[in-house]
Structure 1
Amino acid sequence: MNLRKKLILPSLAFVLASNLYANKLYTVETTSLEDAISKISKKAEIPYLVDTTILKGKKAKKIKDIQGLENALKAILEGTELEAIIENNMIMIKEKKEIRQETIALNDVTVTSEKLERNLQDTTTSLSVINSKVLKDMHINNLKDTFSFMGNVNTSDWLDSGFVIRGINSEGVGGPSGTPLGTLYIDGVAQTQGGTRRGPTGMWDVEMVEVAKGPQSTLRGKSSLAGAISINTKDPSFEEEAAIRLGMGNSEYKEAALMVNVPINENIAFRVAGEYNHSEGQINYPTYKDLPRYDERNDDDYWQGRAKLLYANDDLKAVLTHIRSYNSPSYDDVMYGSGFGYDLSDKKWTASWLDWIEARSTKTNQTSLDTSYFLKDNLELKLFLSHVDTEVEKKSINLARNQIDTQKELVQELSARYTDDNFEGIIGLHLSQAEDSSLRDNKSELNTSSIFGESEWQFIDDFKLITGFRYEIDNKKYTSNDENYDEDFNIFLPKIGIKYQIEDKQNIGFVVQKGYRPGGVDFDDSNNESYKYDEENAINYELSYRSLWNEDTLRFNANMFYMKWKEQQVSYQQDFFDPYSDRTVNAGESHLLGGELELAYEVNPSFNIFSSIGIVKTEFDDFKLNIGSEVINFAGKSFPQSPEINASLGARYNHPSGFYLGGNLNYNSGVYSRNILEGSESYRDEKLSSFAVVNLQTGYRFKNYSINFWVDNLFDKEYITYRDGNPYANSPQMYATMGKERRFGINIEARF
């Protein structure tokens, strides 16, 4: 055969085959992605090749009379982040490359907060999601940075506290009290109180951050009445890759990060990532600079190391993860007023009670094994094991006090997930043991056993019934000053709702579910006595709306909610001058009313805008406190740290040359300071001022590396998140926590 025939005959075969593929009509009724690919392959009479692990948890789009093989494959793979390539008479299904058109795939967001992998548009839970692309584009370095893009999600008012969802602090209304109201999960591992405040919360090599708002009690249990946050880091992949980032900025800012991913063989891959950040704080300590823990109070130091090992075959996927971190953030507390002789803008702290001025740091170690066994395409068994160990050094700045708190938790969870065309559900067993001890001879234990389940069933066309439950037993033990406490709390937590598919890209849902937090016992140091407080519960009513418009370039999602809260646990300080006089009581009743709006719009391939708005009205309905000699009625007041409005608006422009420019504005309305529950009369009826902060990013992207410039708080807006005053001083003596001042810097990132 001559060369001409060698070229012509294969070309003719290819053309004939292409015409054959193009002329056939394809109909697929199943939502099982593997079955859909198989049916199309059989009709086209060509084989397909795919690593079946990338199909797990993904669904096919039903299609009818789609002409052409390529069109049919494209249609069923829509929203899966997979692509089909036809080469050498073979269909190959692959994951899309991460480096692609610089736009956000609005219909392509898969979330895991509901423990069933779902497209964001199929959820009824109010979710704010930040994916890896946004993390990189918007210079998001830590978890708190993500909150400026989310409605009804805020940082707390000071360093040693949690986060705020829908006006509820994750550690309790007032000061820390009992079991958390919201939990942070990192790769599925629930963080301790210390880990939530100062754990491995850096954003390097993170796949996605999800914030679920409102009670998540059927799936998460006791510590999720306000909501839950999930940080999912990137798993190992079967491609060699590496990345490095180096940066610097004002206030002695330095950053360095590294990632290496290595496939060991066809079933095993290994990924390691690490990051380091350092900067100087913004507060002036004129009398502290020679003290032994001055650097720990003034400087912001953080590092994290993470290693992940993946094993995967057709039936099994297992990821072993170990994370170690150190976090010692700088304090932002100031003193001001004529009684001290300086202004708020001086940013000074000169307190002389050095034995009580802390410079805390936290070390965290966590290990987890996440195993999934696929019995068949629609049935998955999952075993999750984890252990987290947090050590919090509560050392005073002069080392007169050297307290170390340890917090540990061991978790075992076994679950089964089933999915078919009309039903998806999960059922599971959960066991956990948590321990918290300190050098004050106090020790608490919380042992939890629960069974849970949740499902969605399409019982007629376009309607789905949502059901869920959790039966939980919480055993609390507390030892202090030779006193012992041991009590069980049993609770049944139901969930029921309905979802209606208005049309292909629009749905509406309504869900009612119960939230819960167990009671407990604590020790009142100021009165030298132990005391009990009761469990609390809430009923949440929530309406959801999901929609995609304009050929999936415009996403508009919304939630509205009303929550009634009974026996609410509130922590307050009995004596302004005694930080150990805090006590937890049960408020009579309170309620929340509000909603969230999320908008994202791809104006064109180079320009997109996004917005998130949160509105919430929190209110005590029945709550009186004895503070000092006063009886104070808080009925009608909103919770501390609860802005009625917070909103974010941002945009991003990418020029084909590689230049980009982006930024966002974050606004928070005024709130009551937590001092209204701290024994002080100062500013009890006056809210803190509202504030708005602008952040900016620009730079240039090349094929494998980028140069990035960033500014946080562009206009150097001065604002405070906490305020109190000495009610007994002859002239004003004020205490406050400052918001972060303007920071700017540059970094270079390379990927291989």
Structure 2
Amino acid sequence: MLAHAWYVLMASSAAVQPVTLPESQVTPAPVSEPTPTGQETSGDVVVTARRRVERVQDVPIAMSVIGGEDIEKTGAFTVNRLQQQQPSLQFYSSNPRNSAINIRGLGAPFGLTNDGIEQGVGFYVDGVYIGRIGASTFDFVDVDRVEVLRGPQGTLYGKNTTAGALNITTRLPSFTPEARIELSGGNYNFVQAKGSVSGPLTDTLALRLSTSATTRKGTIYNVTSDEYLHRQRNLGLRGQLLWKATDVLDLTLSGDFNVQSPDCCVQYYARVGTTQRAANRQYAALAAAFNYKPPSFDPFDRVTDLDASINSRQEIGGVSLVANWDVGPATLTSVSAWRYWDWQPQNDRDFTGLPVTTVSQNPSQQKQISQEIRLASNGKNTLDYTVGAFFFKQTIDTQGSQVQGPAASRYLLNPGNVPVGATGCATTTANACNPAVLNGLTSTNTISFDNTSFAVFGKLNWEAGTGFHIQPGLRVNYDKKSGSYLSVVTTGTGSTTLNSDQSATLAPQSYAPKFSAWNVSGDITLSYDFDRDIHGYATYSKSFKSGGINLSGLPLNAAGTGVDLSTQTVKPEKVDAYELGLKTQFFDRKATLNLAGFWTEVRDYQATVNNGQLTVIRGYLANAGKVRSRGFEFDSSFRPSKRVNFYVNGAYTDATYERFTNAPCPPELSGGTVTTGTPGPAGVAGQLSPVACNISGQRLPGISKWSFSYGGEYNVPVGESGGQVYVGYDGNYRSRFSSNPSPSAYTWIEGYSLSNFRAGYRKDDFNLFGWVRNAFDQNYFELLSTQSGSTGLIVGQPGDPRTYGLTISKSF
């Protein structure tokens, strides 16, 4: 039985189950030849990466696949956990809205989300493009497989994807009655329940209902509220109705509802670094002025004193209709979808127990409709093709607010020229000594965004000679974006008349950016089948990511008299990507080794940047001149016997700013009086600061040069019943990476490795196992950030500590 469950993956650790699709949707996939023993060999993973069903090893794309059963046994039930098994995948999330999926270091800017930009990595569920990346923080519900495609995919997918795509496929309704239940429990009061049921309603109608619910106590204790933060509370529901209208036409109607209400996500004291701000305005002096200190100076004590409410509630749902019509030589597919997203956050944006910023949140609501139509040739012909058209309409409405508290005046304003070490103000009339100046200062932001996108795309696969394929692709795309940003600022008494200190802290702003453009892009792949199990390919892609608009506030102009309107839009990214790959299998497909080398250059790279101005506490968008990501990847899996399997995957990624001469400066070169002349030394208080910094040649944030995943499983049969006792291990390592848009000595996250173990008993459709994640209780940060205003405070979001538990599952 285990031999049937093992399928070698090109780039994943895991066993993947065969894909079952309606007959009219399937291009027949190759089947394994039997071994001399009569058992099936490995190697028959089938995927739909190219919008047709194919063996993964035959697809000339760098991609990884992980099956639903492997997701369940390894606990990789979110994208955040999935990245631990995929070295080229990066996922960052300071909360669900501020999440990013990157591949090879590219995709979305590192930092807080700005509504006006596109994702560089497409996120798809059952063929539907998801416009809000917050959906990726939910637990997977009844997933059949996850495909991770690396590199531009604009000629195959509805929405242009310059860095890759994450393609999630759920299990379809079955005409054979079936049910499955899974229960897990662990420390931190972790409880997770998953269930699904499927079967026929009539001879042509089948239904599938699925659910997943997760709760867990938080891992970080807040002494102020006497509660644990980073709590999990997730619920997901999905229903699917499959109608086989005729032998050549089927329709699948799907609906889902998902809600999260976690007390997350928190960042708190990690360390302090000296900026160029005056000494009496650095964090140490400010804390002394309030006789304040955090409850612990060790962030891995996992204790904080945040004094504002913390929550990251989000609700996501929608409906879709997928139709597949086999017209003989081709299959016509239609994917229609409507989706919504409702985000209701609460944050402590000063990251301390002081009432500096008592409210900072951006509740937001999105609605989207999308329509994709594709025509894909059936069978395996000398000339195969996929052509399609895609329409996407998105609206977002955001109601932002920021309120300063009674500690804001002293914390944010200049107290005057006081002696070093003094905690008071130079004069009793200084605004910094008057809490009423900023207490209650409120910015109420009304933000709207309208995004329309239309594209036609296509890709050919011409077998020019035996085993030699030429595969050109083309995409024509139109994007139109418009938005408005209105910020009304009132004092604590309700007045809109502001003094200079108040307007420098929260500046009234009103602007209405617009962007529209046509783009033509394409790719060409040359591939050659050296034999049945050795395939090579070379690809060149010329792609783009649509231009964007800034919808999180703009920085002040050089004179400080108003906002800099030249920053309200950002130019499109222009991408040139080159890739060489080799896919191989050996020993009757019991061993797989795949190699890929890549070189990607991005001109006008869209970066989220921060500066010392409080008026743009969330950062804003800018174009870096040029970015380059290059490296190589290898993926290997082995099955020397039916008792043992193991895998090793790795990636080397050299991702740098090739040209970024006007970048925002890191904290050690910020906070002082700005000069166009010679700035003072970095990390010395009271020095002159440069207007901008040249960070050309420095590392992109969020990407490790080296990353690996590795593991395996060993089993022993038990008696004559067909049962097995097994042990498994999954580990990963990533080297140090920068956690600031401009690399800073204060925000490097050191490399770390994580180890996960499991051991259990399984027989037929029953499985019982214990598990330990982060078994050696590794202390590591997921993110480090700087406190706005160049105080020198560095705050962090730690990764999960060691967790353990038990899982039991049964299929019927």
User: TM-score per shorter chain, which class?
Assistant: 0.7 to 0.9
Partners of 2:21 and 2:739 in 1: how far apart?
Answer: 53
Q: Which amino acid aligns with 2:89?
A: V
Partner residue in 2 for 1:191: 130
Q: How many residues align?
A: 649
CA contact (8 A) 2:148 2:164 kept: yes
Identify the match of residue 734 of structure 2 among 659, 668, 677.
668
Identify the match of residue 569 of structure 1 among 587, 592, 606.
606
Larger RCO, structures 1/2 (Cα 8 Å, 6+ apart): 2
Partner residue in 2 for 1:14: none
Partners of 1:605 and 1:632 in 2: how far apart?
Answer: 57
3-state SS of 1:632 partner: coil
- Any unmatched runs of 5+ in structure 1? 1-50, 62-76, 81-99
Partners of 2:467 and 2:203 in 1: how far apart?
Answer: 42
Change (3 A) 1:719 1:396: closer
Partners of 1:373 and 1:54 in 2: how far apart?
Answer: 10
Task: Measure how far apart 1:167 and its partner are.
Answer: 4.0
Q: Which amino acid aligns with 1:304?
A: G
Identify the match of residue 454 of structure 1 among 453, 459, 466.
459
3-state SS of 1:116 partner: coil
CA contact (8 A) 2:24 2:247 kept: no
Partner residue in 2 for 1:367: 319
Identify the match of residue 91 of structure 2 among 131, 140, 155.
155
Partners of 2:396 and 2:160 in 1: how far apart?
Answer: 16
Per-residue CA shift, 1:423-473, capped at 9, x if unaligned?
Answer: 221101111101111113211111111110012110111210011011001
Partner residue in 2 for 1:11: none
Partner residue in 2 for 1:58: 27
Change (3 A) 1:189 1:60: closer
Partners of 1:56 and 1:230 in 2: how far apart?
Answer: 17
Partner residue in 2 for 1:304: 236
Per-residue CA shift, 1:624-650, capped at 9, x if unaligned?
Answer: 224453221111111000101110011
Partner residue in 2 for 1:422: 382
Partners of 2:259 and 2:29 in 1: how far apart?
Answer: 43
RMSD over equivalenced CA pairs, Å: 2.7
Identity rate of aligned residues, in percent?
19
Change (3 A) 1:286 1:79: farther
Partners of 2:725 and 2:375 in 1: how far apart?
Answer: 47
Task: Measure how far apart 1:403 and its partner are.
Answer: 4.6
CA contact (8 A) 1:162 1:196 kept: no
Partners of 1:116 and 1:547 in 2: how far apart?
Answer: 21
Matches within 5 A, 1:236-255: 236-255=173-192
Which region of structure 1 is more displaced relative to structure 2, 549-558 or 158-167?
Answer: 158-167
Whether 2:94 is the aligned partner of 1:141: answer: no
Task: Measure how far apart 1:414 and its partner are.
Answer: 1.1
Change (3 A) 1:79 1:433: farther
Change (3 A) 1:348 1:578: farther
Whether 2:32 is the aligned partner of 1:78: answer: yes
Whether 2:267 is the aligned partner of 1:333: answer: yes
Whether 2:333 is the aligned partner of 1:350: answer: no
Identify the match of residue 125 of structure 1 among 43, 52, 61.
61
Change (3 A) 1:719 1:367: same
Partner residue in 1 for 2:677: none
Identify the match of residue 263 of structure 1 among 184, 196, 200.
200
Whether 2:594 is the aligned partner of 1:557: answer: yes
Which region of structure 1 is more displaced relative to structure 2, 696-705 or 276-285?
Answer: 696-705
Partners of 2:732 and 2:266 in 1: how far apart?
Answer: 20
Per-residue CA shift, 1:719-741, capped at 9, x if unaligned?
Answer: 113234569899x8441111111
Task: Measure how far apart 1:690 and its partner are.
Answer: 0.3
Partner residue in 2 for 1:431: 391
Change (3 A) 1:581 1:327: closer
Partners of 1:170 and 1:622 in 2: how far apart?
Answer: 18
Whether 2:360 is the aligned partner of 1:406: answer: no
Identify the match of residue 443 of structure 1 among 440, 448, 465.
448
Per-residue CA shift, 1:675-724, capped at 9, x if unaligned?
Answer: 637xxxx625x632100000011111133322121111010100113234
Partners of 1:634 and 1:223 in 2: how far apart?
Answer: 29
Matches within 5 A, 1:212-291: 212-220=149-157, 223-289=160-226
Task: Measure how far apart 1:126 and its partner are.
Answer: 1.0
Partner residue in 2 for 1:477: 482
Partner residue in 2 for 1:90: none
Partners of 2:808 and 2:249 in 1: how far apart?
Answer: 38
Q: Which amino acid aligns with 2:317?
A: N
Q: Which amino acid aligns with 1:269?
A: A
Q: Which amino acid aligns with 1:203?
A: F
Partner residue in 1 for 2:109: 172
Partner residue in 2 for 1:683: 745
Identify the match of residue 383 of structure 1 among 328, 334, 338.
334
CA contact (8 A) 1:498 1:510 kept: yes
Change (3 A) 1:219 1:53: closer
CA contact (8 A) 2:29 2:53 kept: no
Task: Measure how far apart 1:475 and its partner are.
Answer: 1.0
Q: Which amino acid aligns with 1:735?
A: V
Task: Measure how far apart 1:212 and its partner are.
Answer: 0.7
3-state SS of 1:147 partner: helix
Per-residue CA shift, 1:231-284, capped at 9, x if unaligned?
Answer: 111000111011112221100101111111121122111000101001012112
Whether 2:502 is the aligned partner of 1:465: answer: no
Change (3 A) 1:52 1:280: closer
Partners of 1:400 and 1:591 in 2: how far apart?
Answer: 38
CA contact (8 A) 1:608 1:653 kept: yes
Partners of 1:579 and 1:106 in 2: how far apart?
Answer: 54
Partners of 1:606 and 1:359 in 2: how far apart?
Answer: 46
3-state SS of 2:140 partner: coil
Partners of 1:706 and 1:328 in 2: how far apart?
Answer: 30
Change (3 A) 1:507 1:252: same
Identify the match of residue 114 of structure 1 among 45, 50, 59.
50
Identify the match of residue 622 of structure 1 among 659, 666, 674.
659
